[in-house]
Structure 1
């Protein structure tokens, strides 16, 4: 029997605004400023280690998906089970919005940043222009997606009745290795919603920017995780706008599942599901993406972590703070700093920072960062700096100056020449203990008043080391 069900468009109308927050990865997409869900779930932190992979296919079983620049090169040929053809174009907008939440290209100055930048989208049209469809077409769409290698199947749809037809399709997808993710529904009740309530399906509810459940989001023990219920998305025209409902939370989680699927070694659907549910933030059940990544099995992981020096000059002196950025798909266990082949310190938590006493070195010093992931994979990066902890050498000559026509002396002049392997930054003249003149560079000539009781020259090298030399004024 064909059972007609409505899509979830009726509940997809609310928008709760939230300010953008600073993030470890902040893409250039103009719509990113409104994507509060990315920072809430720490997707932006996960982006430092994974942004998806083209090997991961996410099927959007919905109203179809229209081609957009933000999906260019990653929108696969699909199928239309409503009109029975191979053109899964979107005549509603719902499916395209879901697809962009999942996989809009990030950091391309266009539209929004999807959760899984490099995942590919398989469009499967099972809902008509009004957002309605049948269990039969939905089941066919699930099977079609599974047969075409979808790692994740996203279903922003459902109905109130259970169905052997849907259960069989979900079981079939599971045997093919796919994780089925479905919307919990938008009636604000605890009554099970299908196919989300099928035990092997990952059921998704919607939460606000403050972490509370949206009033319209269905709830209950059958809901596995929650995710931001209002997200920026792009419709078929490419215009960015609010997309709300468990219809929106579902593709968000599907994108997160895509990030997990892109890791090495490739996890199974069951492992992805377990990682997402075991690390959810209680009591809301919100997904925590970095935590989920760390929860994946690491046996067989051969991907080394990424590590880089923070801002550090090529010339240093005294006590120096060395910072590092490190990331890994399954988590970094520790970062170590070596100087001149000797271990300086180990840091096990981000942000990674080390205090290195460069003194008494005045020489080139090789620095080395060693980053280990949880599996023990090692990455080493090196940088040479020059430690300069000695002031410049200074030659100083004091000479009398005479008035015109051989008159008595009017004062003195000080001629200075300073040298340093790293270069001399500036010279200062001190008369009677006070700075009276400054000059950039390594050489200079200064006038000294006739009544001066003492004169000194202070030279600074480029590292900031000073050297003070006293001048002899004589009689």
Structure 2
């Protein structure tokens, strides 16, 4: 029987983060870059978080003979820098990035938006602006995947915009209980159960910027989120007609129950093989 392997080829994924380093694992697949922090034209990442997220999502593993390959190693990467070198950013820059995605989605073939950032928002207006912005992306037909944040374990600790009821929110399956129980959990302001699902996020090895060690180790829901985003790129390559609602229901139906409360684990743990088989 003929076997088909999906790599995410032809699918553009926009990533809101600290930027991206031109790592060997990305080859010529950095399709776009826009710096909303310093307005620089040259591709860069002065923090490392964005490069790690991009590696988990779409690194080829070239520098490790395939050992540290990302989920969708042939997808197109569109890096939108909304965080500075300290990992700080503004609501205004995030909203500008949302508008940029809508304006440029066709040019860069963007089908997926990965948001491995979140805020505990200072005011309800800040929260509402971010949620409205991310839900506009969803309403445009994009698959939006956001981190639940690392503000747990208290209830109501999912960060914005991951608290949106429409988008797909990801927590860390290995950071739900015990000493490292930091994965954000619901319910949200609107009493919506969140996260939607969980995926591994503890001590994940992925691409690092600079000329030293090509890989580094990071933990958090930021690392869990691109695992799901990359798998979504694979599914969209397999069937480009899938809608964002289709994808969300496929994730629901393929998640594995961990036996934990709904506001802790969501539908359950992400199962890539089961997800792609649907």
| TM interval, short-chain normalised | 0.7 to 0.9
> RMSD of the alignment, in Å?
2.2
1:288 is aligned to: 271
1:356 is aligned to: none
SS at match of 1:262: helix
- Inter-partner Cα distance in structure 2 for 1:168 and 1:85: 28
- Structure 2 residue corresponding to 1:169, chosen from 116, 122, 133: 133
TM-score (norm 1): 0.49
SS at match of 1:76: strand
2:207 is aligned to: 234
- Inter-partner Cα distance in structure 2 for 1:129 and 1:273: 33
- Inter-partner Cα distance in structure 2 for 1:52 and 1:266: 17
Structure with a larger share of its residues in helix:
2
User: Compared with structure 1, are the counterparts of its residues 111 and 80 closer, same or farther at alpha carbon in structure 2 (3 Å cutoff)?
Assistant: farther
Aligned 1:313-462 pairs, distance under 5 A = none
2:239 is aligned to: 264
Report if the CA contact (8 A) 1:205-1:249 is conserved.
yes
- Residues 388-430 of structure 1 show CA distances to partners (whole Å, capped at 9, x for unaligned) of xxxxxxxxxxxxxxxxxxxxxxxxxxxxxxxxxxxxxxxxxxx
- Inter-partner Cα distance in structure 1 for 2:128 and 2:31: 29
State the shift of 1:167 in Å: 2.4
Equivalent pairs, count? 247
State the shift of 1:111 in Å: 6.4
Aligned 1:32-43 pairs, distance under 5 A = none
State the shift of 1:289 in Å: 1.4
Give 5+ residue unaligned stretches, structure 2: 187-192, 259-264
Greater relative contact order, per chain length (Cα 8 Å cut-off, separation 6+): 2
- Inter-partner Cα distance in structure 1 for 2:235 and 2:134: 20
State the shift of 1:77 in Å: 2.4
Structure with a larger share of its residues in strand:
1
- Inter-partner Cα distance in structure 2 for 1:171 and 1:187: 22
State the shift of 1:145 in Å: 2.4
State the shift of 1:205 in Å: 0.5
Aligned 1:31-430 pairs, distance under 5 A = 49-106=4-61, 109=65, 112-149=68-105, 150-161=110-121, 163-188=127-152, 189-191=154-156, 192-208=158-174, 214-220=180-186, 221-230=193-202, 231-237=204-210, 239-283=214-258, 284=265, 285-295=268-278
TM-score (norm 2): 0.82
User: Radius of gyration: which is bigger?
Assistant: 1
SS at match of 2:95: helix
State the shift of 1:259 in Å: 1.2
Report if the CA contact (8 A) 2:22-2:43 is conserved.
no
- Residues 113-157 of structure 1 show CA distances to partners (whole Å, capped at 9, x for unaligned) of 001111110010000010000111111112222332221111111
State the shift of 1:293 in Å: 1.9
